Structure 1
Amino acid sequence: MPVTVGVSLKMYFGHRAGREWAAEVADIAAATPAVADGRVELFIAPGYLQLIPALEAVAGTRAVIAAQDATDHDAGPYTGEVSPAELAEVGVGMVELGHAERRRLYGETDGVVARKTAAAIRNGLVPVLCVGEPVRVDPLDALAFAREQVLQAVADAPAGRLVVAYEPVWAIGAPEPAAVEHIRAVCAGLRDLVAEFADRAGSSVIYGGSAGPGLLAELGDDVDGLFLGRFAHDPEALRAVLAEATALADRRRAAVA
């Protein structure tokens, strides 16, 4: 299974800046052998208006374009929403769901996230399911909270791959990520959970929440990758994380050889 590295731009970039960033990232993807041969999976989630230019930018690479959200309906009278069916039609491969900001700002409940997860998989998209506790607690309580979010999200979803992004809410936008031992404990437990899903082959667990260069090397084998935010707005920082992901992927391959 590859090491996964994702980036969400949220709504930080304007259209021109987003296009320029995607073009730089496409060059980095093309120049990173581990991305080219599949040892490292790279996905990027620009704003909606940047999706088509980003798809054009990464054409010819193995980088995957993700949407930052999608509705739970395939089509119909849903003004202002974005259909997972249309996202898949244009070539989007993944979709971020259940982010803490969606839950806090727009009132998304576990039920809403579950319906969106089912719709995404139904339409061939890989959900990047964001889970995490709202306040700082010990790792066992954090794991219990995140486990329940995952279980509710996939309860009625069809078979298909899932990427679980563990993002403790209190660490999002913070100066530093959660403590390494906290992340490792929660992510290890979530990896055990997704391994139990017989109908979700290839599922993985990545960490987000003020993640940046240097963290993946510290986390080691208890995570399957990172979900980056503002620390990857600099493409060179993303290049550094991809180098760390390559090292982790190679170490894992050597361990099973």
Structure 2
Amino acid sequence: MNDVISEKSAERSTAAVRPLVGVSLKLYFGLAETRQWLAAVAGLDAELALLPRPVDLFVAPSFPALADARELLGPTAIAYGAQDVHWAEQGPWTGEVSAPMLAELGARYVEIGHAERRRHFGETDEIVAAKVRAVTRAGLVPVICAGERQGEDLPTAIEETLTQVRAALAGAEPDSEVVIAYEPVWAIGAHRPAPAEHVRKMATAIRVCLRRHAVRGRLIYGGAAGPGTWRELAGAVDGLFLGRLAHDVPGLRKVIEEIATIQQEKAT
């Protein structure tokens, strides 16, 4: 199989995919503040139903707030999930949370392999693959984070990112649903997203990996994403992974409305 597909072909392959917006709260909110935020997000449900084009939304609060997420988001179309998981289903793993436990809580998505966990907790490609295997076996959707540390040399950046993606996908159960969150490390927490041309070329390469594995995948971009990002990346990626901008629910709403409007424009 040819290792290269055109950006136009990659964009055509996204035409029928519903955009996906994800939000990870990391460790910014306490429990009471998280509950308030979840209640405000739940209030978006009726607005999402009125959008000119459908947009899927999921949020990932801290573990202790997942019960609140089930209570507040369970009756809505907004999905929720966890920021991490352990690879074992059970055993002597003090302080860890398993994929089956997350499934019992009604979680759908699980963030895996974020650059911060790789840097601060020593997570390797092997650990990420084991977590992907556990999550897909439990019927959940892994949000596999991947991205290069430096972006100046594009071929090197692509190979660094693809090494992470290939290893993670090798752990996925056949025909499972996965999300690849492309997050260049140098753009996380930056003042502006990675250049659109850089993301488009990376997205084209990542889609080759997805095509080579027996999975159903979506590709989203994270790294200083916000208003205006989708207009630059629409067609190259299937959604956005938002950070602190989405802590302000009106800011989250603005991004979602922008995506729906642009999708409607593209359809007419």
Tell me the TM-score normalized by structure 2.
Answer: 0.89
Would the aligned equivalents of 2:48 and 2:54 in 1 still touch at CA under 8 Å? no
Q: Provide the secondary structure at the position in 2 that maps to 1:187.
A: helix
- Residue in 2 aligned with 1:165? 181
Aligned partners of 1:4, 1:19: CA distance in 2, in Å? 22
Instruction: Within 5 Å, give how 1:50-65 maps onto structure 2.
Output: 50-65=65-80
| Alignment-derived partner of residue 71 in structure 1 | 86
2:156 pairs with one of 126, 137, 141: 141
Question: Is 1:116 the equivalent of 2:131?
Answer: yes
2:177 partner SS: coil
Task: Please say if residues 53 and 264 of structure 2, whose CA atoms lie closer than 8 Å, have aligned partners that are also in contact.
Answer: no
Is the partner of 2:173 in helix, strand or coil? coil
Query: Partner of 1:226: helix, strand, or coil?
Result: strand
| Aligned match of 1:217 | 231
Match of 1:90 among 85, 105, 110: 105
Paired residue type of 1:10:
K
- For the structure 1 residues 34 and 172, does the alpha-carbon distance in structure 2 shift closer, same or farther, using more than 3 Å as the test? farther
Paired residue for 2:251, among 233, 237, 241? 237
Q: Counterparts of 1:155 and 1:83 in 2: how far apart (Å)?
A: 20
**Which of 33, 37, 47 is 1:21 aligned to?**
37
Q: CA shift at 1:138, angstroms? A: 2.8
Instruction: Give yes or no for contact 1:97–1:130 (8 Å, CA) kept in 2.
Output: yes
Q: How many residues align?
A: 251
* Unaligned stretches of 5+ residues in structure 2: 1-16
**Secondary structure, in 3 states, of the residue corresponding to 2:41?**
helix
In structure 2, the residue corresponding to 1:175 is in which secondary structure? coil
1:168-187 matches, cutoff 5 A = 168-187=184-203
> Superposition RMSD on alpha carbons, in Å?
1.7
* Bigger relative contact order (CA 8 A; separation at least 6): 2
Contact kept? 1:3, 1:248, Cα under 8 Å: no
Letter of the structure 2 residue corresponding to residue 247 of structure 1? T
Give the deviation of 1:97 after TM superposition.
Answer: 0.2
Conserved in 1, the CA contact under 8 Å of 2:172 and 2:215? no
In structure 1, distance between residues paired with 2:211 and 2:53: 21
One-letter code aligned to 1:74: E
Matched position secondary structure for 1:162: strand
- 2:28 counterpart residue number: 12
Contact residue 3 and residue 41 of structure 1 kept, 8 A: yes
SS in 2 for 1:66: strand
Residues 1:189 and 1:248: Cα distance change in structure 2 (over 3 Å): farther
* Aligned mates of 2:97, 2:194 — CA distance in 1: 32
1:34 offset after TM fit, Å?
6.1
Runs of at least 5 residues in structure 1 that lack an aligned partner in the other structure: none
Identity of aligned residues (%): 45
Indicate the SS of the match to 1:240. Answer: helix
In the alignment, the residues of structure 2 paired with residue 231 and residue 149 of structure 1 have an alpha-carbon distance, to the nearest angstrom, of 27
Tell me the amino acid that sits aligned with residue 21 of structure 1: W
Structure 2 vs 1, CA of residues 79 and 38 (structure 1 numbering), >3 Å: closer, same or farther?
farther
The change in CA–CA distance for 1:34 and 1:45 in structure 2 (over 3 A counts) is: farther
TM-score, reference length from structure 1: 0.92
Change (3 A) 1:38 1:15: farther
Q: Which amino acid aligns with 2:152?
A: V
